[in-house]
Amino acid sequence: MLSALTPTNAQAERARLIGELRAGRRSSPRWAYVPRPHEELRRALDAAERILEQGDRSPVETLFLDRTRELALEAAMCASAGRPELARLARARFEPHVPRVARDASELCSAWLAEPPVREPRARRASNDPDARSLLSLMRAAVGRLRLPFTVVESPWLAPLSATGERVILVATDRLVPDEDARRTVLHEVEGHACPRARSVHAPSPLFRIGTARGTDDQEGRAVLLEERAGLLGPRRTRQLAARHRAVEAMLEGASFADVAGALVSRCALGPADAIIVAERAFRGSDGTHPGLGRERVYLESLVRVREHLTARPQDDAIMASGQIAVGSLDTLRAHLAADR
């Protein structure tokens, strides 16, 4: 979804929108997309869904069915890049299933935004600087040290600082990054995403390799929890996560891209560059008028869910560290693994 729902002119539009916001002008994005139909994949997923729907299903077969439906929904979203129907599909994919978790995440968002803003450190270096302490260098060093089957690639169009794909870790270029943020980003991507994907290849069930429904969401929550455990979930990071959550909430309540970007500056104390990047992430896949992907809300919601579960059952961390496994799938998967021994 990241590539399909990222505008082809993301880098140029980001620079233009930052300039407009710094000048005090409201501006809407003029994003261009190349939708990915994924026709063959969608036919295969439809066929798999029909087979899995037949007859009585075991709990494990239900996990396969739920993941198949989720992948079909994500494939449909790739085909809807830049179109109004993306909003409906994205809401179906990312709308929270448990209202209490959504309320707790919203309260956490408000609490973090209520904290006084912390000034950005003066000592920063370009994300792709050849210096050994840059984000790109640290990421490549970590991947090499752990011998992970991933390639670290520079990406000028990426909105987040980094993102992990199937066998690639993307790192945004020409972004000024404090050393603490570089270390945190490496921890998040390597320990939170790349290592579980690498372990999934050797896991006893294919569900670890393909993931369970909402597994990619809860992997984000676990990655943020790893940041917290390492002492890297500081006030600048919590404000960033809270601002992204608030941006999605405002978008789903009808705010436009320009509304959200302006509010992030005036109410959340973000600078223009950060405000545009946060708004871009919330509206990814849309034209900036209709709601976009809205995936940013999963970070706090899954943090609440994962933290609560692992506090009660810390032994389940080993299962979550071995693939894209959702908290709601753990009981079924644990029983399945025990039965196979």
Is residue 153 predicted with pLDDT exceeding 90? yes
Go through the chain and tell me how many residues it has.
Answer: 341
Residue 127 lies in a domain: yes
Is residue 341 predicted with pLDDT exceeding 80? no
Domain range enclosing 290: 97-339
Give the model's pLDDT for residue 338.
87
Can you point out the beta strands (E) in the chain? Answer: 124-126, 151-155, 162-164, 168-172, 176-178
Residue 94 C-alpha from the chain's centroid: 11
Tell me what percent of the chain is helix, strand and coil, each rounded to the nearest 5.
60, 5, 35
Strand 151-155 with 124-126, pairing: unpaired
Residue 73 lies in a domain: no
Residue 59 lies in a domain: no
Side chain identity at 271, as an amino acid letter?
G
Neighbours of 340 (CB within 10 A): 8
125 DSSP β-pair partners: 177
Instruction: Supply the DSSP string of 238-281, one letter for each residue.
Output: HHHHHHHHHHHHHHHTT--HHHHHHHHHHTT---HHHHHHHHHH
Give the model's pLDDT for residue 154.
97
Residue 70 lies in a domain: no
Return the SS3 of 129.
coil
pLDDT in tens, 242-255: 999 999 999 999 99
Total domains in the chain come to: 1
Residue 166 lies in a domain: yes
Residue 107 lies in a domain: yes
Residue 105 lies in a domain: yes
Kindly report the pTM of this predicted structure. 0.95
Mean pLDDT, residues 66-75: 98
Cβ atoms of residues 218 and 325 within 8 Å: yes
Neighbours of 196 (CB within 10 A): 24
Q: CA-CA distance, 316 to 339, in Å (whole number)? A: 17
318, two tokens = 């080993």
pLDDT in tens, 1-52: 888 999 999 999 999 999 999 999 999 999 999 999 999 999 999 999 999 9
Residue 246 lies in a domain: yes
Can you point out the beta strands (E) in 88-196? Answer: 124-126, 151-155, 162-164, 168-172, 176-178
- DSSP class of residue 190? I
pLDDT in tens, 190-242: 999 999 999 999 999 999 999 999 999 999 999 999 999 999 999 999 999 99
Cβ atoms of residues 275 and 21 within 8 Å: yes
Is residue 340 predicted with pLDDT exceeding 80? no
